[in-house]
Amino acid sequence: MKKAYLRLIPILIIILTSLGCSNNNSHTFDTNVELTISAAASLQNALNDIKLIFEEENPHIKLNFNFGASGALQQQISQGAPVDLIFSAAEDKFNKLVEDGRINQEQGIDLIGNELVLVVPVGSNKGIKSFEDLVNAKQISIGTPEAVPAGQYAKETLVNLKLWGKLEKKIIYAKDVRQVLTYVETNNVDAGIVYKTDAFISSKVNIVATAKESTHAPIIYPVGVIKDSPHQKEAQRLYEFLQNETAIEIFEKYGFKGLK
């Protein structure tokens, strides 16, 4: 009888080992994660390109983007929206999240920059070739300054050029830079002020002027991991990936400037 028990021991060991391997495989399968990234609307094309490469290299991580105006994105996160990482077009909105303890300072970085440009519809005959020429326009579009960083920079530029008082009544406000671009593309306005990167992606507008850096605050895009993200390891991996050479080259392809 004792010999029979001894013969069973190796069999039991094999069974227990198999169960352990099965449990480990199940655990590996369960590590698939979806990250939610709130990002400025102007980043849409570049981030969609980056998503393809990142997901191929990290098949267990899926990226879901929530694109919008940086002010609105900041408010959503402040109110508890489930977000893992934010990529803002406004330092002040980003810094507010740091001050409120939603982002650890060591998990945030100023990553890329942009320029502000004046665009008109292709074929425009309004004679608008500079910011000063906007006095000849009937309607102009910019993002809502309180919520859209590009709109904030646009207003700042017009104020510094002493044009705001002359143009304020002509302005059509938009929810983000992409809407400004659409208004110009469809000839609903005579001109619009957008990021250089947005103008680059449209064949229906012409850039007629670039705002001097001295007329507005630096246009900087900070990125950071949300402190209470349940997927810290995966969010950190994306945060680091966005800083690598491959990602920066994609941003530069769309007209952004690397700050590293």
Those residues whose C-beta lies under 8 Å from the C-beta of residue 231, and which sit 6 or more positions away, are 33, 35, 84
Residue 48 and residue 84 in one domain: yes
Give 15's pLDDT tier (boundaries 50, 70, 90). Answer: very low
Burial environment of residue 89 by CB neighbours within 10 A (0 to 12, 13 to 18, 19 or more): buried
- Answer whether residue 131 shows pLDDT above 50: yes
Predicted confidence at residue 201, as pLDDT, reads 87
Per-residue model confidence (pLDDT) at position 254: 92
The alpha carbon of 80 is separated from its chain's Cα centroid by a whole number of angstroms, namely 19
**pLDDT, mean of residues 88-112:** 92
pLDDT for 194 equals 96
Confidence band (pLDDT; 50, 70, 90) for 214? very high
Q: Which of 27-36, 53-62, 239-248 has the lowest mean pLDDT?
A: 27-36
Per the domain annotation, does 14 fall within a domain? no
Examine the domain organization and report whether 227 and 108 are in the same domain.
Answer: yes
User: In this structure, are 203 and 138 located in the same domain?
Assistant: yes
**What is the per-residue pLDDT for 259?**
84
Give the pLDDT band (50/70/90) at residue 103: very high
Instruction: Indicate whether 23 pLDDT > 70.
Output: no
Q: What pLDDT is stored for residue 238 in this prediction?
A: 98
Residues 141, 58 share a domain: no
Residue 156 and residue 82 in one domain: no
Q: Which residue has 């990602």 as its token pair?
A: 247
Same domain, 175 and 100: no
Give the total number of structural domains in the chain. Answer: 2
Mean pLDDT value across residues 124-147: 95
**232 and 104, same structural domain?**
yes
Percent of the chain past pLDDT 70, that is, above it, reads 88
pLDDT digits 0-9 by tens, 148-180: 889 999 999 999 999 999 999 999 999 988 899
62 and 185 share a domain?
Answer: no
* Cβ neighbours, 10 Å, residue 1: 5
Cα gap 189→240, rounded to integer Å: 40
Phi-psi region of 206 (alpha: psi -120 to 50; beta: other; left: phi over 0): beta
The reported pLDDT for the residue numbered 7 is 55
CATH number at residue 135: 3.40.190.10
Q: Are residues 211 and 229 in the same domain?
A: no
Residue 27 lies inside a defined structural domain of this protein = no
Of the CA atoms within 13 Å of residue 101, those in its CB half-sphere come to 1
202 and 154 fall within a common domain? yes
Q: What is the mean pLDDT of residues 56-64?
A: 97
Q: What's the whole-number mean pLDDT along residues 41-49?
A: 94
Q: Is residue 150 part of a domain?
A: yes
Structural domain range at position 102:
33-113+220-258
- Whether residue 21 is contained in a domain is answered as no
Q: Is residue 175 part of a domain?
A: yes
Specify if 69 maps to a domain: yes
Co-location of 46 and 165 in the same domain? no
Question: What's the mean per-residue pLDDT of the chain?
Answer: 89
Mean pLDDT of 34-45: 94
**Token digits for 204?**
């229906």
Region for 134 from its dihedrals, namely left if φ exceeds 0, alpha if ψ lies in -120 to 50, beta otherwise: alpha
Q: Average the pLDDT over 22-27 and give the result.
A: 38
**Same domain, residue pair 209 and 189:** yes
